[in-house]
Structure 1
Amino acid sequence: MADCHEKQKVAVVLFNLGGPDSLKAVKPFLFNLFYDPAIIALKNPLRWVVAKLISSRRAPIAKEIYKQMGGKSPILPQTEAQASALEELLNLSGDTTYRCFISMRYWTPVSGETAQKVAAFTPDRIVLLPLYPHYSITTTGSSFIDWMKSAVTAGLTMPYRAVRQYPDQENYIAAQVKVIEDVRAKLDHPENYRILYSAHGLPEKIIEAGDPYRDQIEMTCRLVQEKLGNPDHMLCFQSRVGPLKWIEPYTEDAIKQTVSDDKGIIIVPIAFVSEHSETLVELDIEYREMATELGAKDYVRVPAIGCQPEYIKALAHLTRSAFND
């Protein structure tokens, strides 16, 4: 008979995008991305053909981007660091044993292998925790759909709860405020700068179909601004690809406007919790070069919140409260 004082076991599955771990992995990573029906809404075999075509065309460009990052994405080791910090915090006290697992959407470790590891842990409960604070069908939604298929295959029948979003979670907001304040504190005249909150964009048609992503990004920015005392700011969107109309204003237009207004630039990757190509290349290299060429007074980039203690507290709170319903 089991000891009545035996600790409950909870598996915490952290979801993230994933990224190629070598230059060889770039093309298959891109194929996985564009083969996702949440990204390319076509039926097979047409979706497969389109994904093959786009990934083949974009691979050479993407390889050059990843060469600037040392030949691979840093997103997995950063996610591993977040998982380790969260697991340590969750297990500091209480009668529950928590184990954190990572499930990447478009590269290893994929949901199938992670689900098998969770099954081997034999948890009593499972918490699905996205490292996307803002819900979109293209990120959290797609990850959850993919996970559910793998969970069935792995025979995971224990109770679970899914955290859909947390754009206004108190500790998450505090983490964003802290990294911005740390940067502003180093500036001689922060009032002469405009904060550009740059989030990953989406095609307009996805928002028009009811996706809450933009509203949730705006909510986060509003709450961060309140804590900062409402300095000069602008919300903008980056990383658009393809012929579709994407949500505006675009980050490059926000940079042009800020330079025109004779303000320095503080750029904040508001939708990203770890560093990857959109921050290390797009923000740090491409947009910085653009701002310099336009004659920007200054261009300062705030780091992603990563393992900032308040963010790890946010994840711990979301995990512990997931079953309190």
Structure 2
Amino acid sequence: MSHLPPDHPPVKPRKIGVLIANLGTPDSPGYWDMRRYLNEFLSDKRVIDYPAWKWQPILQGIILTKRPFSSGKNYALIWDKAKDMSPLMVITMAQTEALRARLAQDYGEQVMVDFCMRYGNPSTESKVAEMVAAGCDRIVFFPLYPQYAGATTGTANDQFFRALMKEKWQPAVRTVPAYFDRPSYIEALAASVEEKMGDAELLVCSYHGMPKRYLMEGDPYHCQCQKTTRLLRERLGLPEEKIITTFQSQFGPEDWLRPYTVEEVAARAQAGVKRIAVVAPAFSADCIETLEEIEGEIRESFEHAGGESFTYIPCLNERPDHIEALADAVKENLAGWI
């Protein structure tokens, strides 16, 4: 920029940032890394909304003393030892690289693509700072949760906005909304089911749970999960009795969204269903809830109740049709910017 005076600070060429976000992961399955991660996660008021005076003594005095051991053992079962990363980190990195390559086909080097995690590393704040430093004066922020929930999309956006508060020159921003009913997402989800379902008698769509109270307070997550299942059923051409919606990962004493996956698969086995397939449409990448909970606890519940064939259908991860669906959503939100 030849028109700038000699003593002017350097100005980077303008770029647009695309920052995808996922939940996060501990740096290792070890006790202290697990404790730091769980403390950040379970201290989030979007996740646990009890008053701090009531919740923090329980969290700091009881939960964070014991749970890092049990959670660490579960993470150790699925940890990618060759890369020394959790599967969620490995997959998110692959998704980022694939999305970067896909968007480069249309926009060249005008768009900078990176990822962050809501909890743990790399932090949202660090990646926003990197994008601003690289010259991004506009950022599309994309939480990779197909269905909106305050405890997932909402808190990811919160953290993004908090990061923006620290920037002297704040970029213009757009946040990508939930994509649970995008035709390209449903098509990719259906294709993954068709490839793996085989002769299963029942398709179980297992979504991450949340307290029922959140639904009653206006969170749209439950309704968006139900619609995802309906759209998937219609695309697959399945009768209503061949596909069900369930919820997993309950925590604490409250009543959560029902039916609970771990109980429902056992009940179906006891009723004579021998072969089921389970898909997790709320997760964009395989993680502890799918690789350990579904493949472990939920599988065991079904088999111990008399079930004979349990098929887990992997998340969409870095499948080309999934990357294309994500790219479609990004390009829609880049409209007018590029």
Same fold (TM over 0.5): yes
Match for residue 332 of structure 2?
321
Query: Secondary structure of the residue that 1:92 maps to in structure 2?
Result: helix
Number of the residue aligned with 1:287: 298
Cα deviation 1:34-74 (Å, max 9, x = unaligned): 11011222454655434323222321211121121137521
- SS for the counterpart of 2:246 is strand
Residues 118-197 of structure 1 mapped to structure 2, 5 A cutoff: 118-184=131-197, 187=198, 190=199, 193-197=201-205
1:39 aligned partner, one-letter code: V
Query: How many percent of aligned residue pairs carry the same amino acid?
Result: 29
What is aligned with 2:245?
A: 235
In the alignment, is the contact (CA less than 8 A) between 1:179 and 1:305 conserved in 2?
yes
Is 1:56 the counterpart of 2:65 in the alignment?
yes
| Paired AA for residue 78 in structure 2 | M
- 1:299 CA drift (Å): 0.5
Taking the aligned partners of 2:60 and 2:116, their CA distance within structure 1 comes to: 24
Following superposition of structure 1 onto structure 2, how do residues 22-61 of structure 1 map, counting pairs within 5 Å?
A: 22-24=28-30, 25-44=33-52, 47-53=55-61, 54-61=63-70
**1:199 corresponds to 2:212:** no
Alpha-carbon separation, structure 1, partners of 2:335 and 2:129: 26
- What is aligned with 2:281? 270
- Cα distance between partner residues in 2 of 1:249 and 1:156: 48
User: Which is worse superposed, 47-56 or 33-42?
Assistant: 47-56
> Following superposition of structure 1 onto structure 2, how do residues 76-155 of structure 1 map, counting pairs within 5 Å?
76-94=89-107, 97-155=110-168
The aligned amino acid for 1:123 is: C
Change in Cα spacing, 1:254 to 1:15, as seen in structure 2 (3 Å) is same
Q: 1:96 to 1:252 in 2, by over 3 A?
A: same
Aligned partners of 1:134 and 1:213 also within 8 Å: yes
CA–CA separation in structure 2 for the residues paired with 1:19 and 1:163: 22
Q: Distance in 2 between matches of 1:224 and 1:21?
A: 35
The one-letter amino acid paired with 2:158 is: I
Distance 1:267 1:230 in 2: 15
Structure 2 Cα separation of the partners of residues 296 and 102 of structure 1: 40
Residue equivalent to 2:74: 65
Closer/same/farther in 2, CA of residues 98 and 318 from structure 1, 3 Å limit:
same
2:283 partner SS: coil
How many Å apart are 1:21 and its aligned residue? Answer: 2.3
Q: State how far apart, in whole Å, the 1-side matches of 2:78 and 2:210 are.
A: 24
Q: Which one is further off, 52-61 or 39-48?
A: 39-48
TM-score (norm 1): 0.92
Give the corresponding residue for 1:17. 23
1:300 to partner: Cα distance = 0.6
Could you tell me whether the CA contact under 8 Å between 1:7 and 1:96 is conserved in 2? Answer: no
Q: TM-score, with normalisation over the residues of structure 2?
A: 0.88
User: Alpha carbons of 1:7 and 1:309: their partners in 2 closer, same or farther (altered >3 Å)?
Assistant: farther
Superimposed CA distance per residue, residues 257-291 of structure 1 (whole angstroms, 9 cap, x where no aligned partner): 32133221101111111111111111111211222
Q: Unaligned 5+ residue runs, structure 1?
A: none
Q: Please list the CA deviations of residues 168-211 of structure 1 after superposition, one character each: whole Å capped at 9, or x if unmatched.
A: 01111111101100013xx3xx2x51000000000011111100
CA distance in 2, matches of 1:47, 1:148: 25
Provide the C-alpha distance between the structure 1 equivalents of 2:325 and 2:312, rounded to a whole number of angstroms. 23
Whether 1:297 aligns to 2:303 is no
2:311 match: secondary structure: strand
State the superposition RMSD in angstroms: 2.1
Distance in 2 (alpha carbons) for counterparts of 1:312 and 1:223:
20
- Deviation at residue 304 of structure 1 after TM alignment: 0.5
SS in 1 for 2:165: helix
Gaps of 5+ in 2: 3-11
